[in-house]
Structure 1
């Protein structure tokens, strides 16, 4: 059974990689936006697709979390509890980076989950590869039919059931909390005093109060504008459910 699940998962990743490679071969569609809910597995899918595309293509993956405003700015604007909502992203910086990378190279800032803030030490310069995968939040509905240099050439939406997303979010929160036991600088160290059942209940309130409204109001509407929709189930099996690139 495990082999069947792994094969199905690989088939879905492989199908997406093949589709992106075909789009690259048939035109200059090389910048891919990958979005979906918090905790849907965007980073993992981006890595798996990248591994499937290599060594035939040069591939870079970048998280859009780097374009979140630093916590100090979010605090000043009263937006810290809305982190991840559209207004918490540096949209101008995002557009500039895409425009510049198309010209050859651009600096991409990075966000650390451990400190829950932008970490200047993680900034990196990305030179335009065959395929660049931008994964995360902060995307807007693409311009049609001709897209600007400041937006992805292809938008992929990673879809999943709300109950699965909540489960994955809570498990991820607990994982960061456990890791904080050996890292006192971790953002999650502030909750080490909680017993695990209390922590899980707290993580669920964060999901219900922040991430679920963001999903319903701002993230999921992008599914209707996506070029490709990928569906993921609780077992992390993925498949292309819609392809509007033909």
Structure 2
């Protein structure tokens, strides 16, 4: 199975897909955790990996955002602007979903960027595939040497320079803001009164005050414990820079 990914030496996504396929073929590395900073491109990388692994393997991708507590729980505790920090995740729900999907199937909730909240209508029932990619935040350092049923078999960390991450975050924020012009129900519609320079300045304050501290204090430390570390440069080219499962 791994041989059919056909990655060239310069193809970082293909190399990672090939490595994951080999791990799956040689053992029970079925559930892959993919983490890294907000705006690092985890969703895009998960989608690219899925395309490389299919059709030789059945693949499902799920965002861990679905395990954020709903706004109705976060807001009274003053945690709404701390989404993505460890205390904003339903760890019990996350663990239970992984345990149950290993047994055959589980329901995975979903978070909507449009309403900036959990949307029950987006819940998916996942039947255990050959490879399940869980991308997002909320992971903890993996157990060693044996993993529990409630954690990924393989943890991949997507690394990038802080300056690039900030730029990508601001551009993503602007993208959601522009989309809100034709969707007044969007969470980002509340900033439509701003000019684009004002919005970019505001997005940078959110990055500096929320996402950067979360990156430095809670997300980045996982890089030293991840099984595989992938580095992305400013041109969005990726390469494997550490493989601790070799």
TM class, shorter-length: over 0.9
Q: Secondary structure at the match of 1:172?
A: helix
Matching residue of 1:233? 233
Matching residue of 1:161? 161
**Kept after mapping to 2: 8 A contact 1:229/1:240:** yes
TM-score normalised to structure 1 length: 0.96
Matching residue of 1:35? 35
Matching residue of 2:195? 195
Cα distance between partner residues in 2 of 1:179 and 1:150: 37
Matches within 5 A, 1:50-61: 50-61=50-61
Q: Could you list the runs of 4 or more consecutive aligned residues of structure 1 that deviate by over 2 angstroms after TM superposition?
A: 7-10
CA drift at 1:215: 0.1
Gaps of 5+ in 1: 1-6
Cα distance between partner residues in 2 of 1:10 and 1:195: 41
Shift in alpha-carbon separation, 1:190–1:9, aligned structure 2, 3 A: farther
Matching residue of 1:219? 219
Name the Cα RMSD after superposition.
1.2
Cα distance between partner residues in 2 of 1:100 and 1:51: 25
**Kept after mapping to 2: 8 A contact 1:58/1:131:** yes
Matches within 5 A, 1:54-203: 54-203=54-203
Cα distance between partner residues in 2 of 1:8 and 1:203: 38
CA drift at 1:8: 8.2
TM-score normalised to structure 2 length: 0.96
* Residue 14 (str. 1) matches residue 17 (str. 2): no
Gaps of 5+ in 2: 1-6
**Kept after mapping to 2: 8 A contact 1:67/1:89:** yes
CA drift at 1:9: 10
